[in-house]
Structure 1
Amino acid sequence: MHTLTRKPALTTVGLTLAVVFGVALGSAILLMTSLELLGQHDVPTPFGVFVVAMGFSLGGGLQATISPHLLGSDAYVSANVGLTALPLGTLLAIAVGVYLLARRRAPVDESAAPLGAMTLRAAVEAAVAALLAYLLTALGSYDPAGTGEAVVRASAASSLLMTWVIVFAALILARAGVQLTSRVPARLRQVLRELGALATIIGVVLGMVSIVVAVFAAFKNDAGGAIPLLPVLVGNLIVYALTLGTLGGIAGSFSAPFLQEFGVSDVPYPSGSASAWDIMGAWSILLYVAVLVVAVAGAARVGVRRPRLAAADPARTWQMPVAVLAAGLIVLHLLAPVRLSGRLLGQQATASVGPAWWSSLTLALFALIVSVLAEVLPAWLYANANSFLRLCAGTQAVEYWATGQAQPAQQQSFVASTAVPPAPAFTPAPAPAPDEYVAPYAAQPNVTSTPTTAPAAPPPPAVYVPSAPVTSATSAPAAMSANAAGAPVPPLPAPQPMDPAARRRLKRVAGAVVACLVLVGAGAIAVHVLNARRGPEQAVEAYLELLADGHAAEATAMVDPGVPNDQRLLLTDETLGAATSRIEVVDVEAPSDTDTYASTGTRDSVTVTATISLDGERFDVPIVVKAGDKEYGVLNTWEVDTPLVREVTLSSYTLGAVTVGGTQVPLETSEYDGGSATQYVYFGIYDVGVDADVSDYLTADTTELNINSTSSTTVQVEGEATEALENLVLDAVNAQATECVTPPGNMDEVCPYALQSTELDSLEVTAEATEVTVNGTAFKSGSITFTTRNIPTSWNKNPKDKDWNYTFSGTIEWPEDGDDEPIVTVTDSYVYYGY
């Protein structure tokens, strides 16, 4: 360990720290840039924000403490919320940077040592980086308001652990990779080589596809500010793309029982999973095509890195899937999920999103398919598509594989000065007997060197002259070379031109496959485009346009209000067409995540917000839309579930019926509450009137009915007398007054008491009524002046005239035949006191 105190080693430590924290700083800048682009205002950039972002980049953990004031609680409680989401892109960049630096610095920083000492030194260097990451993360925090009510910190423990693991692993692999692999059993070493080959293809293909799709999705959803996050999360995108593309699923769960403490009683607790089709719709076909490319290219690369045998060996196909299953359990279920947890009022809340439990199994099945193809596909590609094979597996690797040589070591190893000189990459061995089985695995030699001597270069591929195919090992021993087991296999002949007939068949097959893929892709795009025009907002727009155009019958057929038929008197084209103002559609907006569900229809329902204008007044109406059965199995259908109607109760003490938009609504009368009727009306503004049979004599005191999202559900309508009715009543009153001064009519009970006498010498109406007050079916007249004079007697030989002021009241009856006049009946008389 004394070499750590020397300048070369200290320089390596310093450069390692620069790589670790330089990448973390770059990741923090990308995070802050994305937040600023996506936010509605500038994100503050104090030192604490960068520290929190760097801590998150190093460990993937955030912790927030929220005070009671922000929670709206009177009790002194606080909430602690933790977020765990590993930025795999940043962590991978740190690992690669440290690895390359250690490889480059290994010849000069005196890191060559026995494996134990080398491990201890790497642990110490990693501990230095981890300790600095811990201190930096622990000291930094972000307080948005500056009041301490909400403080966000990065998880110092996560930063410490992740930094140490990544730096330690990168240093050990760079300095002692060959030593470590030489101690690994040959079978396991071969599996690791195959796993690395498959991981390379997955990273290249799905990495490019994920980035392209993510950029397209960001621009499509007006979220271009998320693009700076792609370098930070590219590893996560690859993992999720691989999960979905291999028929796995993304599962989510949520639980927050403490919300009920704040009066939120109806809280959903969703838990479910979604496949690639559920999330991407028809675009998932393109993901499946990309995974198919990964399978073919991965099989080619993995097969070339296996010792070439005379025939396919099924016994070599199960090891890699087992390794993939083990790696998948770690990556998919430990590193990839995003977890959120918190505690409030003594109750725990959790939320998580990540690969479903069966995803590692489907990934292992995918690896099994690749492993089986790796036994036969490289040989076929070598003979028929050699350029594609070299593109997938590498030219040098294909040359070694074709000549039957063992793959050379790719890393340098620095050991103690007592290390033995490097051994040849492979050693020729005697040819086996014809048709002898070739051992699939054998230990490869340990390639080592001294610290002062550069490692021996791997031997070049054997050069051979293309010739006729070699049929057996004994017929051409000079053309053979040893495989990894030391047993010779004949080198493959140079690829020969295909037979014209076979070439034509291959072209036809390839053309048919390409045509099918093109048709499938075009169909998927067409379905996506069509479904994009068949979303829930389009269904709502179609429904609202029917109402805006006055087509009530079609709107009712499209969305049944679900009310009794006797309450649908106003849900007609005549009523809606007679509205003085109908709705105008301003905007229809579906939830932001409906783009995902619009192409699949898997969500049971969504709530669309419709902005409507009625007589210049705008208001928002939430409309629930349910997913219907797919047409032809692929085209979405949506059914509007919220009718745009309001329940209205029409009531009156004076009328037996009212009209709304020209449609008569009879009122059911009761003994004490007058008449009333409950009907449903589409949004709009309607004229209110009286029954046409009484319209010459009565008008409605309420002349307008405004139906919107906030209108009253009860409307009181009373009849007001027209001039014709007032004149009719006035004539009846004055006629009764005349009858009361014409004996013997003065003796009628309806006449004033002062006129009911037989001892009157004269009686007359000196001032008729000039006004009446009509209240529905009742009325009351103004003052009527009667003048009477008694008969002269011996006691009063010259009686004087006497004036009496009375008022009449009575009823109005409306005959069943609307053509007849109302019947006015005077029923009583009262002394008029001047009011």
Structure 2
Amino acid sequence: MTDATSDDQRPSHPTVSPDPAAAPSVLSPESAESLATLMPWLRSPAGLTRLGVVTAAVLATALVSGVLYTIALVAPVGDLASAGTVFGGVLTFAGMALGAGISVGVFGSTVSATVFSLGSLLATWAAVHVLTRRSTSHERGLAAIGRGARTAVEAVVAATALTVLTAFASVGAAELDLFGEFSARPRWFTTWLVTVLVVVVGASTGRRAATRPRPNAIAAALREAVRLHALWLVVFGAVAVVATAIALIRDDQAITLLAIPPLVGNLVAAVVAMGHLGAVTLSESGTSTQIGWAWDLAGGHGAWLIALAAVLFAVAAVRLGVRRERSSVPVWSRTWQLPTITLFIWILLAALATGIRMSAGGFGHAGIGLAWWTPFTVAIAAGLISVGAEFAPAVAYALSPRLTALLAGSTATARWLHGPSTSTDPDAGDVENTAVLPAAAAESPAADSESTVVLPTAAQPPSGTATAPEPMDPRTKRRLVIGAGVVAGVALLIAGFFATVSILNSQRSPAGVVEEYLTLLADGDAEGAGSMVDPGIASGQRVLLNDEAMNGATLLEVGEVRVDDRGSDSATVTATLSLDGERFEHTFEVRGGEKRFGLLDTWRLDEPLLVPVMLGSDSQDSVRVGDAEVALDESSGLFGSGEYGAELYAYPGIYEVTAPESDYVSTEPVTLRVLPGVAAEAAVTAEPSDALREAVLDEVRARVEQCATPPTNMDDVCPYAVRDTDLAELTVTTQPEGFEMLELGGFRSEEAVITIRPNPRPFDEDPEPEEIEFSLDGSISIEDGEVIVDFDDTWW
């Protein structure tokens, strides 16, 4: 017979002989022997292999997470062609994945970002858990202190290796094609600490799973919490991943999908929270906290998460109930542990693990995470599930044994029916035999199809164990099914009602009221826009806020309208607009109004989209904008005193400004370009027409004739030399042919010539004729279609 110990390659346990002279030890002989055995084993090939495998598992998980993060986050903004970019990004994000965050240096300031990558942490825990569970045979002979010391050594070595690998890595502005000073690097201390904790927890749970300790109330409660959260993780996780993938693909951000595996735990936690009436909050220094509910997702369709949570409530109650010892009466003493553990777990998740928090020292902070009440709503749901687990298996089995086996598992259902197997083999619970579950009786042969259910289960229990529940009376069963159907129908109606309300509210979002307002402006409906949002200005400044003014104008084109910041009674909405191909953004502040029928959200836009404009004319007291005539005030125009202008407001657009039609004035249209944030102005300049030239020239020539005709030759307009009553001759020799200067405001004629000859005098009996050359100056105005010329006085 071969000695069984001859195949054991582990170092033999040295015998520790107590030394009478030695000082008394605080360790028991068993613990001292265990520690003495540990170090030789760690130095053995098996110990080194085990240490290397655990360290490799931790590094592999971190590096895979780093690769996924690098591709998902760096590729959209940087260039992955550089080996330095890839290497630095992978190591930086590997440290972040297991280190709960990074430190970012921006222009000399440090921004600390905290994010627990729960997917990466769960993967690391699972790897260490499985490795420990499969290698516990090496720990035989080690006391608890020896096993703890071994775990501590493995955790410290793995954490130190990861920290050394990632501590000096960084990714900066050059790699990300960003302007300015920017550098991100992992936080080495949190990388080391979090990795140690994950390895310790994974080794502890793996060792416990392998040793199969005797069941107790605490262990049973922990197993129930694990089963419940595993159910949520699988179902809600599938929904969250699929929905997120669809949303990212629609937004042309498919590459970001690679960031889901490291963050899948965070994503699932948020979805589970919303399904149980929790919420996600977004907070920022100096702003109100935004709250996101289930019905705020996907245009209101996220409300179906609540319905899914209700379905999983029943499934979880059955699955947990069949794993409890069957009792004829509820055992209330085993119902409080599950909600208590769940509350503790979710407090940790809400306070530490699921959110993303950024702090910039004295510059403020921002973060997204679970609302403070989320742990309590999830714990309440767990409490209701725990209470329901006392009744659900019996009710489900009475209704349908097959359904019970489908929901809870056939082995667990058989064990619940007949009690645990009497086998002493520790692995007997994993061996599946066959048990026959009695089914509910049927009133007719049609029900025979459910008369016998064959389920794989543990070994048949001995006689005297619990018997299966009595089948439900067919009539009672039918009534119960009908009642359950009615309740389910009512529940679906209620869920559908609230889903409809959510969808309607999503369509009545703050962005909706802004988009409606902008659509009116884009359609040229200025009066409709004014009715929707009061301009809030004096009536005299609303001349351009009408349909006539916008007729023929180039109007806005409305692009994306998005909600940037939403609170309970206010929101910030940003609209992307374009005008004649020029794109720009404008931000609106929207206020919440009273709910219609107590359910439907209403939003009110109080801020009109107005731009101050100034119109002017150098000669006319009115201009035309589109089809609207705008009166101008004198001495307030762009041209200064004596001209015309008006200060008004207009909606964004490109308007054509013209002068009123006239026979005496010719003008060219000017463009008024109105954009938000920039004051606009336009001035119409007019030129005299040929008709005005002839009309003024006729007035000038008539005035010259008057200066050569008594008694009007004495007017101050005429030259001083002709203003004489003692003249023998006073005749016009030359009339002006044109103007030296002619504007709408005034003129200067070409020279005219009047010949004068004084009467004979004693000292000059035959005076010579004298030619007087002069020009006339004056101003021009047009009143009621008539040209009015006002001549200036002449002083020479």
TM range (shorter): 0.7 to 0.9
Residues 1:110 and 1:180: Cα distance change in structure 2 (over 3 Å): closer
Q: Which residue of 1 aligns with 2:482?
A: 508
Of 59, 74, 79 in structure 1, the residue corresponding to residue 99 of structure 2 is: 59
Of 377, 380, 390 in structure 2, the residue corresponding to residue 375 of structure 1 is: 390
Q: Which residue of 2 aligns with 1:650?
A: 615
Q: Which residue of 2 aligns with 1:284?
A: 302
Question: How big is the shift at 1:518?
Answer: 5.8
Contact 2:751/2:773 (<8 A) preserved: yes
Q: Which residue of 1 aligns with 2:531?
A: 557
Q: Which residue of 2 aligns with 1:618?
A: 582
- Rounded to whole Å, the distance in 1 between the matches of 2:678 and 2:105 is 44
User: What secondary structure, in the 3-state scheme, does the structure 2 residue paired with 1:562 have?
Assistant: coil
Amino acid in structure 2 at the alignment position of 1:92: L
Residues 1:535 and 1:104: Cα distance change in structure 2 (over 3 Å): same
Of 140, 144, 148 in structure 2, the residue corresponding to residue 119 of structure 1 is: 148
1:682 aligns with 2:651: yes
User: What secondary structure, in the 3-state scheme, does the structure 2 residue paired with 1:375 have?
Assistant: coil
Q: Which residue of 1 aligns with 2:18?
A: none
Q: Which residue of 2 aligns with 1:588?
A: 559
Q: Which residue of 2 aligns with 1:207?
A: 237
Amino acid in structure 1 at the alignment position of 2:67: I
Q: Which residue of 1 aligns with 2:575?
A: 608
Q: Which residue of 2 aligns with 1:758?
A: 725
User: What secondary structure, in the 3-state scheme, does the structure 2 residue paired with 1:649 have?
Assistant: strand
- Rounded to whole Å, the distance in 1 between the matches of 2:66 and 2:583 is 42
1:491 aligns with 2:466: yes
Amino acid in structure 1 at the alignment position of 2:771: D
CA distances 1:422-442 after superposition (whole Å, capped 9, x unpaired): x948xxxxxxxxxxxxxxxxx
Q: Which residue of 2 aligns with 1:799?
A: 767
CA distances 1:694-725 after superposition (whole Å, capped 9, x unpaired): x2334457755443447654444455433333
Question: How big is the shift at 1:528?
Answer: 6.9
TM-score (structure 2 length as normaliser): 0.81
Amino acid in structure 2 at the alignment position of 1:168: V
Residues 1:45 and 1:392: Cα distance change in structure 2 (over 3 Å): farther
Contact 1:537/1:589 (<8 A) preserved: no
User: What secondary structure, in the 3-state scheme, does the structure 1 residue paired with 2:793 have?
Assistant: strand
- Rounded to whole Å, the distance in 2 between the matches of 1:337 and 1:699 is 69
1:730 aligns with 2:704: no
Contact 1:142/1:153 (<8 A) preserved: yes
User: What secondary structure, in the 3-state scheme, does the structure 2 residue paired with 1:145 have?
Assistant: helix
Q: Which residue of 1 aligns with 2:9?
A: none
- Rounded to whole Å, the distance in 2 between the matches of 1:823 and 1:456 is 119
- Rounded to whole Å, the distance in 2 between the matches of 1:542 and 1:348 is 37
Of 390, 393, 398 in structure 1, the residue corresponding to residue 405 of structure 2 is: 390
Residues 1:575 and 1:271: Cα distance change in structure 2 (over 3 Å): closer
Question: How big is the shift at 1:826?
Answer: 3.5
Residues 1:335 and 1:601: Cα distance change in structure 2 (over 3 Å): closer
Contact 1:12/1:102 (<8 A) preserved: no
Any residues of structure 2 matched to 1:160-175 within 5 Å, and which?
160-175=192-207
Question: How big is the shift at 1:308?
Answer: 1.7
Residues 1:58 and 1:111: Cα distance change in structure 2 (over 3 Å): farther
Residues 1:782 and 1:538: Cα distance change in structure 2 (over 3 Å): farther
TM-score (structure 1 length as normaliser): 0.78
Contact 2:343/2:379 (<8 A) preserved: yes
Query: Cα RMSD between the aligned structures?
Result: 3.8
Any residues of structure 2 matched to 1:113-262 within 5 Å, and which?
113-145=142-174, 150-177=182-209, 181-182=213-214, 186-255=216-285
Q: Which residue of 1 aligns with 2:46?
A: 8
Q: Which residue of 2 aligns with 1:479?
A: none
Amino acid in structure 1 at the alignment position of 2:559: V
Of 322, 326, 350 in structure 2, the residue corresponding to residue 304 of structure 1 is: 322
1:50 aligns with 2:22: no
Contact 1:403/1:461 (<8 A) preserved: no
Amino acid in structure 2 at the alignment position of 1:235: G
Amino acid in structure 2 at the alignment position of 1:741: A
Unaligned residue ranges in structure 2 (runs of 5+):
1-37, 442-462
Question: How big is the shift at 1:324?
Answer: 1.9
CA distances 1:597-629 after superposition (whole Å, capped 9, x unpaired): 7xx99752312121121xxx5242515263665
User: What secondary structure, in the 3-state scheme, does the structure 1 residue paired with 2:764 have?
Assistant: coil
Amino acid in structure 2 at the alignment position of 1:301: R
Contact 2:510/2:571 (<8 A) preserved: no
1:275 aligns with 2:293: yes
Residues 1:251 and 1:682: Cα distance change in structure 2 (over 3 Å): closer
Contact 1:251/1:354 (<8 A) preserved: yes
- Rounded to whole Å, the distance in 2 between the matches of 1:226 and 1:708 is 36
Amino acid in structure 2 at the alignment position of 1:809: D
Q: Which residue of 1 aligns with 2:757?
A: 789
Count of residues in correspondence between the two structures: 728
- Structure scoring higher RCO (CA < 8 A, sep ≥ 6) equals 1
Question: How big is the shift at 1:768?
Answer: 0.8
Contact 1:115/1:176 (<8 A) preserved: no
User: What secondary structure, in the 3-state scheme, does the structure 2 residue paired with 1:84 have?
Assistant: strand
Contact 1:719/1:776 (<8 A) preserved: yes
Question: How big is the shift at 1:668?
Answer: 3.4
Q: Which residue of 1 aligns with 2:715?
A: 748
- Rounded to whole Å, the distance in 2 between the matches of 1:522 and 1:273 is 22
Unaligned residue ranges in structure 1 (runs of 5+):
72-77, 256-267, 409-422, 426-446, 448-454, 470-487
User: What secondary structure, in the 3-state scheme, does the structure 1 residue paired with 2:360 have?
Assistant: strand
Percent of aligned positions with the same letter in both sequences?
A: 31
Amino acid in structure 2 at the alignment position of 1:557: S
Residues 1:215 and 1:329: Cα distance change in structure 2 (over 3 Å): same
